[in-house]
Amino acid sequence: MSGFTPNGPSLTVDCVIFKDNSAVLIRRAHDPFKGSYALPGGFVEIGETVEQACVRETEEEIGVTPSNLRFIGIYSDPGRDPRRHTVTVAFLAEAEVSGLKAGSDAAQVELVQDWRNQEIAFDHRKILDDAWKLANRK
């Protein structure tokens, strides 16, 4: 449909990477939640799959390439992002974390050991909890 502009929710991706008991988190460079911890992620572009978007956004925000993407879930609460209604597809991934480097929307990137005790933006705490359960299934 040429000229069609969707009026529905925006599609996003979020990437969870654990190293031992730590989580890779960014400090947001912009509002909303400027300065808060968040997962690397962002908006899916026209013409790319959610998996491609996850890899691209993770590379742009933290400077590493995620691999072995595992589906965590879809998070669609209309209030999850104060800017607009977004639906995210979240993935658990592996990555070499020695090359972490903040870029794009990230003021900094950290390997956060006590992530359970931190304030985390959006609904990323729920995503992290779900990812932890998935990663530690026996």
Please name the residue that has the structure tokens 């998935």: 134
What total number of domains does the chain contain?
1
Give domain status of residue 52, yes or no.
Answer: yes
* pTM summary value: 0.93
Specify which residues 109 forms β-bridges with. Answer: 26
CATH code at position 26:
3.90.79.10
Give domain status of residue 5, yes or no.
Answer: no
Q: Helix, strand, coil % (nearest 5) of the chain? A: 20, 35, 45
What pLDDT sits at residue 104? 79
Give domain status of residue 4, yes or no.
Answer: no
Domain that holds residue 42: 10-135
Give domain status of residue 2, yes or no.
Answer: no
- Tens of pLDDT, residue by residue over 14-61, are 999 999 999 999 999 999 999 999 999 999 999 999 999 999 999 999
Sequence-distant (6+) residues with CB within 8 A of 88 are 11, 12, 13, 14, 41, 74, 75, 76, 80, 127
- Tens of pLDDT, residue by residue over 75-105, are 999 999 999 999 999 999 999 999 999 997 8
Distances (CA, A) of 66 to 34, 102, 132: 24, 15, 17
Phi, psi of 23, deg, nearest 5: -120, 140
